[in-house]
Amino acid sequence: MSKPRTALVTGAGRGIGRVVAQRLSSAGYRVVLTARSRDQLEATASECPEQTLVVPADLTADGAVDGLFAEAESGFGPVDVLVLNAGAGSSAPLPRVTDTDWQQQLDLNLTAPFRCLRRAVPTMRQRSWGRVVAVASVASKRGEPYIAAYTAAKHGLLGLVRSAAAELAGTGVTVNAVCPGYVDTPMTEASVANIAARTGTDAAEARELLERKQPIGRLIAPEEVADAIMLCVNSSGITGQGINVDGGAIQS
């Protein structure tokens, strides 16, 4: 029997990352789970049918990405599938975005994925097979008010995906992005709370505002994002794409 392939999922403690980890495990992958919270990672691991490896890490810290991959390779071997899901948003009017705010958004949403991709590619190329899927955002493709730093980082992430896909075409390694709209996750709940606090509306009204941003009139389910991610994992013919999962908000 051939050795099971290894998948690494960042931001695997909750939301989209948890669902993707479950899907990959159910498909027979051994999954390395990373996020900042060990408790959340352990909860994800308990829902995965195949063997998992829990590696808590802050991927923005110096040396964290190299340490993560060293543990993954020591425990399971080279990473075959890399799902770059960890990320966070912040909102503020442009004049109030501090240098620290700006750098935090770039560090988490762009630099950490770049470091993971850089670390994963050599062994994928050597083995002539690999799948990289970054969870970007519709903010990778359009600008919206009050999220300048997040939008800039996500535009950069999509650019990284496209460049890497072009460089790796023909090697057996594919690189794609999935670009969700507002997803029913704890990150969106934080956005709801922020909107409610800023505008004086209640949480239900703030949530409805985000639901209306999708033409289908509701938030996207994490499982729907996972569907697109697994499509990229399972297909060798899809690469260099930014696949929208946004209820029709951006047509491409």
**Active-site positions?**
150
How many helices (H) and strands (E) in the chain? Answer: 9, 7
Quote the CA–CA distance of 52 and 229 in Å, as a whole number: 19
Closest Cα to residue 59, out of 18, 118, 2? 118
Cβ–Cβ < 8 Å for 181, 249: yes
Q: Kindly give the residue spans of alpha helices, DSSP state H, lying in 76-185.
A: 99-106, 112-127, 148-168
What amino acid occupies position 64?
A: A
Q: Which two tokens stand for residue 189?
A: 């709940």
Order the strands of the 30-34 sheet from edge to edge: 52-54, 30-34, 6-10, 81-84, 130-135, 173-180, 242-245
What is the torsional sign of CA 159, 161, 165, 167?
positive
Q: Which two tokens stand for residue 5?
A: 């392939």
Q: Which two tokens stand for residue 187?
A: 């990150």
Quote the CA–CA distance of 108 and 173 in Å, as a whole number: 24
What amino acid occupies position 60?
A: T
Quote the CA–CA distance of 72 and 53 in Å, as a whole number: 7
